[in-house]
Amino acid sequence: MGVKRVIVFDTTLRDGEQTPGVNFDINDKFKIAKQLVSLGVDVIEAGFPAASNGDFEAVKNIADKLKGVTIAAMARSVKEDIDRACSALKNAEKSRLHVFIATSDIHLKYKLKMSREEMLEKAVEMVKYAKGKFDEIEFSAEDASRTDWDFLVKVFSEVIDAGANVINVPDTVGYAMPREFGELIKYIRNNVPNIDGVMISAHCHNDLGMAVANSLSAIENGATQVEVTVNGIGERAGNAAMEEVVMALNTRKDYFGLVHGINTKEIYNTSKLVSELTGIKLQPNKAIVGANAFRHQAGIHQHGVINNRATYEIMKPEDIGIVPDTFALGKLSGRNAFELKVRQLGFNNLSPGELSDAFRRFKDLADRKKVVIDEDIRFVVEETLEEFRSFKEGEAWA
């Protein structure tokens, strides 16, 4: 048997868009989706077509144009949502419906106002309804981690009989602990009688800061798909961060013994693009992609790194696509050099106006500062983007 491959399902464009204050338009979604293809994700969850006409068009645009990747669309367990997802994915090379319904007693009682039996009947009916309309059907049991385990097993077994190819286990409210979540995955794997040939997926939220740990624990216990977002954006405290899960699998290949399809050298660019289009700056100490992730401050550390990087570095910045400083900029540098540096820093989508403005700010700074480092350039560009964004928002309100 060969080395097992983890399927990376990216939901930046769906759960990531549920980040408070984030709203992607059709162009933003396409730019990110294109970059996700370069990154090498297996599945792009492009959106929720029934949510709005705008999202329908954005999902359709991605499904029409991007090939070589599975495109997923979300739907509640209602026919209208499934039909909308179906039309949006009509031209996808490989389509996946992501249909969900809540299974925990607390959601059944207070949100759906349904009994367990009514919910199960609805889930099975909707999976049967969707069968044949998509290449794959993923069924999510929302709030799975707070659902009675034996009932969850029953739900999964019945939706598999109805035609689901992927069963997703969401820790919707980020409540689970890593060992417990791993045990739940193992329980499902060992007790769902028709699980063979069906993919088990983990979808973890970060309310207690466990999303990545829970995802990795799920993988260790038999999940073959992991659902992630770039920079960990998402509802409330966000989702499992793609870059953290992937680099854990990479850096600790000795421990996990798994492979994936991600080209890690595209991680930094992808992170920058998402940060740029969401307007969400990363905390400096953010693992993998934060500004300080590869910086050494203490003298003892710097000394060690000079002698041998492996003393304090478990990953190389180049592994995630950070280009080492090739040239320094100063007040005599021209626009071309500035533009090249800006692109090297991962800002690939500046408009000509934004670029001119950033260049002017850089020149002002270079007049005042002897050495302009990458961090200064990053700051200047982010400041420009922020100003342009608030100007646009101001216009929208006017």
Of 19, 61, 140, 145, the one binding ligand KIV (CB under 6 A) is: 140
**Which of the ranges 108-116, 165-173, 272-280, 281-289 carries the binding residues for ligand KIV, by CB under 6 A?**
165-173
Of 10, 15, 243, 354, the one binding Zn ion (CB under 5 A) is: 15
| Least distance CB 131 / ligand KIV (angstroms) | 20
Site for ligand KIV in 192-231 (CB under 6 A): 203, 205
Q: What is the DSSP string of 104-158?
A: SHHHIIIII---HHHHHHHHHHHHHHHTTTSSEEEEEEETGGGS-HHHHHHHHHH
| Least distance CB 142 / ligand KIV (angstroms) | 4
User: Judged by CB under 6 A, does residue 15 bind ligand KIV?
Assistant: yes
* Residue (85 or 358) nearer to ligand KIV, CB: 85
Distances, alpha carbon 41 to alpha carbons 35, 89, 283, in Å: 10, 18, 24
| Least distance CB 92 / ligand KIV (angstroms) | 19
* Residue (73 or 377) nearer to ligand KIV, CB: 73
Write the CB contacts of 137 (distance below 8 Å, at least 6 apart in sequence): 96, 97, 99, 127, 130, 131, 163, 164, 165, 166
Residues binding Zn ion: number (CB under 5 A): 1
* Residue (168 or 221) nearer to Zn ion, CB: 168
Site for Zn ion in 136-155 (CB under 5 A): none
Residue 181's closest CA among 216, 141, 140, 209? 216
Site for Zn ion in 181-200 (CB under 5 A): none
Neighbour count for residue 50 (Cβ, 10 Å): 19
Three-state DSSP class for residue 272: helix
Residue 142, contacted partner among ligand KIV, Zn ion, none, CB below 5-8 A by kind: ligand KIV
User: Judged by CB under 6 A, does residue 238 bind ligand KIV?
Assistant: no
Q: Taking the CA atoms of the chain, what radius of gyration do you get in angstroms?
A: 23
Q: Which residues pair with 139 in a beta bridge?
A: 99, 167
Write the CB contacts of 377 (distance below 8 Å, at least 6 apart in sequence): 329, 338, 341, 342, 345, 362
Rounded CA-CA distance 357/362 in Å is: 9
Residue 100, contacted partner among ligand KIV, Zn ion, none, CB below 5-8 A by kind: ligand KIV
Site for ligand KIV in 255-314 (CB under 6 A): none
Residues that bind ligand KIV (CB under 6 A): 15, 100, 140, 142, 168, 170, 172, 203, 205
Binding residues for Zn ion, rule: CB under 5 A, are 15
